[in-house]
Structure 1
Amino acid sequence: MIEVKNLSKYYGEFQALKNISFSIKKSSIVGLIGSNGAGKTTIIKNVVKLLEPDSGEILLDGKNISKLSEYPVSYIPDEPVYFEELTLYENLLFLCKIYKSDKNKILELSDRFKISEYFNNFPSQLSKGNQQKMMIVFSILRGFDLLIADEPFNGLDPEQINEFKNLLISLRDEGKTILLSTHMLDLAETICDSFIFINRGMLVAEGTKKELLDLSKSSKNSLESIFIDLVNQRGHI
């Protein structure tokens, strides 16, 4: 289980996160939902240890992640990251060697996400959608217990969105834990077991859709309506 306790983060004098606390159950897909600037990416960067909190702590199975020498997390950032001087295939081989993964996974995942034909291209030559598929493959090559994905559906066509959804569900069924940030609330409804609503750096609510609906006064059943109602209801706008 991941526990975030009283997490605060400043950028200069601006407080991006304000004493946020929530938990993520093992073997679940959790949607991190918020408008632009709500603090989603800042939360994610703290969880993957790209940032250090100014106060509070993040625990994995009761242990502070800052003290873990091995941290079984993989990360799909909101912008592609790669070695510019290497081709797509060379990037994959390099990561495979670093992560000590089976090379067969390269072909398996590349065929699944239809990027094999671009093996000899440099990543910068790929379309936004193919770069996103590349980042998904990069993340899955690594052994992990926790997958953090920041807007991972951006640029994917409907077929590949469905393929990625199926992959996430199969990973959860294998015991992996997934924290998923997305603006695509209709899509999040179809795969997430629970949700964390944030706004302006503060926690609005967390729970399953049913639990959030019970807190909401919305007459509509959509996740979008529930989110908007709870944000308005709790005075965070």
Structure 2
Amino acid sequence: MENTQILSLHQIYKNYGPIQALKGVSFDVPAGSVFGILGPNGSGKTTLLGIIMDVLKANSGTYSWFGQSTHHDQRKRIGSLLETPNFYHYYSAVRNLQITAAIKGRGADDIERVLRIANLWERKDSKFSTFSLGMKQRLAIANALLGKPEVLLLDEPTNGLDPAGIAEIRDLIRQLGTQGTTVIMASHMLDEVEKVCNHVAILKKGDLLTTGHVDEVLANEDMVELGAADLTRLEDVLNALPGVKSIRRYNGTFQVMFTESKTAEQINQICFEQGITLNYLATKRKSLEARFMELTNN
């Protein structure tokens, strides 16, 4: 499955009257990835999910699932949780899944497997009404996994959950990713994408700002803090370094941003060769939060 794309979007536009919800969005979702579509509310995430699920029509642009441009017959390969399913409160977890499997026409023999994945097998005979918020959401994900879809689509999967429920759902998504399911999830929460996803597309008001491996989206924003006994000499050396984006003084050290990633060893060696012995060196990856604020506030 290396390097294959589960989903490819090409120049997707969507208007609601004068409002442009999506403005030429293009990106690829690699097979086996946990892919985060990240953006503040109103950025077009839910519209995008609606289009790729054939619930909404794009004004222009194309997308393909599994390398095929025709979309019939592909729904069986995709499990989605775009809104909370209507479970019956007085039925057990198993009974609820039996009902939805019957409606879907598949997955009746898959109930034990999905309940075990969602860590609900021990509670399979408990009524839905007795479940915590996190358990209810885990049952909804189990429901979406009926019939072994290759892709799971989630819209804001931790919305409205308490901290314990959020942790449960994040653990479950990470676990699904390690087992080879491709997960595509929309989220407005940075730490969620940083903790759960390995690929990301960042949207703002319908524009795609950046996309790539989470580490790559971050890597070009590494910041290094350096200190030495002779700060003036250190500053001269830093100013002469290739690939320096910015230098600023901070608490008796320099904070340096590089346009491309440099390892601590490389920086240490360069300074040493210039006759500077560093007494402090720390690489601080700029958090996705700072990057996201930068991207979405401009």
TM range (shorter): 0.7 to 0.9
Q: Could you report, residue by residue, the CA deviation over 1:31-86 in whole angstroms, capped at 9, with x for unpaired residues?
A: 111011000001111112211211111112321253x3233111112x31326698
Q: Give secondary structure in 1 for the equivalent of 2:15.
A: strand
Structure 1 pair 164–75 and aligned structure 2 pair: CA distance change class (3 A): same
Within a 5 Å distance, the mapping from 1:68-83 to structure 2 comes to 68-71=72-75, 72-77=77-82, 79-82=83-86
More strand by share: 2
**Rg comparison, structure with higher value:** 2
Q: How many Å apart are 1:224 and its aligned residue?
A: 1.1
Conservation of the 8 A alpha-carbon contact between 2:118 and 2:141? no
The answer for unaligned runs of 5 or more in structure 1 is none
Q: Counterpart amino acid of 1:7? A: I
Percent identity, aligned pairs only? 29
Q: Counterpart amino acid of 1:199? A: K
Aligned: 1:35 with 2:40: yes
Alignment correspondent of 1:105: 113
Alignment correspondent of 1:222: 287
Indicate the structure whose relative CO is greater, using CA pairs within 8 Å and at least 6 residues apart.
1
Q: Give secondary structure in 1 for the equivalent of 2:79.
A: strand
Within a 5 Å distance, the mapping from 1:1-237 to structure 2 comes to 1=5, 2-66=7-71, 68-71=72-75, 72-77=77-82, 79-82=83-86, 87=91, 89=93, 90-97=95-102, 98-100=105-107, 101-105=109-113, 107-108=115-116, 111-112=119-120, 116=124, 118-119=126-127, 121=129, 128-216=133-221, 221-232=286-297, 235=298
Q: Counterpart amino acid of 2:127? A: F
Q: Counterpart amino acid of 2:184? A: L
Conservation of the 8 A alpha-carbon contact between 1:110 and 1:116? no
Q: Give secondary structure in 1 for the equivalent of 2:145.
A: helix
Conservation of the 8 A alpha-carbon contact between 2:22 and 2:207? yes
- Which stretch of structure 1 is more off in the superposition, 166-175 or 25-34? 166-175
Q: Give secondary structure in 1 for the equivalent of 2:110.
A: coil
The answer for unaligned runs of 5 or more in structure 2 is 224-256, 258-284
Conservation of the 8 A alpha-carbon contact between 1:216 and 1:229? no
Q: Could you report, residue by residue, the CA deviation over 1:91-132 in whole angstroms, capped at 9, with x for unpaired residues?
A: 3111234223423236535653886464264xxx97654543
Q: Distance in 2 between matches of 1:69 and 1:108?
A: 27
Structure 1 pair 11–183 and aligned structure 2 pair: CA distance change class (3 A): same
Structure 1 pair 60–120 and aligned structure 2 pair: CA distance change class (3 A): closer
Count of residues paired in the alignment? 228
TM-score (norm 2): 0.66
TM-score (norm 1): 0.81
Q: How many Å apart are 1:191 and its aligned residue?
A: 2.0
